[in-house]
Amino acid sequence: MEVDKLVACPVKGDDLVPVSIQIETGSGIAIVTCTGELRASEAKEDVVALWNDNDWAGKAAVWDFREAQFVISSPEVQELADFVLTHQPAPPEKVAFVTGRDVDFGLARMFEAFRSDPRTAFKVFRDFDAALQWAGAREPDAA
């Protein structure tokens, strides 16, 4: 996979959240990789960082949470989904979440239900390559 850029998302002062945004060359798909503990407030900051990324055209996004652990309650999941629905500049064509833990998969499915928007296809995956393919990215080994 070839990417145009890699960005660490600043939060407070000079501290960096363990999140990176990559924009895939050719497809324009955003690949957002999160590691460590992810709280609702950080998730909001991360999604706003993606929306504000001038290199992302809003086509599709793959959020890679395989190395992250959600520290989010069920009410916070609904609040986060409401935040996305009411604040996103324009809904992307597709959004994929990829999780590694069962509990995170369940919370991601809950987010999927709360975030329901007919303008955006949304799917939760356990397999990163399957998520990329579904989102329309080129094959990982393609030149």
pLDDT digits (tens, 9 = 90+) for 67-91: 999 999 999 999 999 999 999 998 9
Average pLDDT along the chain: 86
How many Å apart are CA 132 and CA 77, to the nearest integer?
Answer: 24
Q: How much is the pLDDT for 27? A: 86
Q: Domain residue spans in the chain?
A: 3-135
Q: How much is the pLDDT for 6? A: 42
Specify the long-range contacts of residues 4-7, CB closer than 8 Å, at least 24 apart. Answer: 4/55, 5/55, 7/49, 7/53
| 3-135 is a CATH 3.40.50.920 domain | no
pTM listed for this prediction: 0.84
